[in-house]
Structure 1
Amino acid sequence: MAFGQPQGPPASKRQLDRLLDLVIAAGHEDFRDARGPLRLTQRQSNGKFTRDEADELIEQLESGMEGEAIVPLTAEERALRAVSTEALAAELQRRGWVVMEP
Structure 2
Amino acid sequence: MASQVELLLRTLEDLEEKELRKFHWYLHQEDPFHGFLAVPKSCLERADRESTVDVMVHTYGHQRAVLITGKVLEKMKRNDLAQCLLNTHSRQQAKQETRA
TM-score (norm 2): 0.31
- Structure with a larger share of its residues in helix: 2
TM-score (norm 1): 0.30
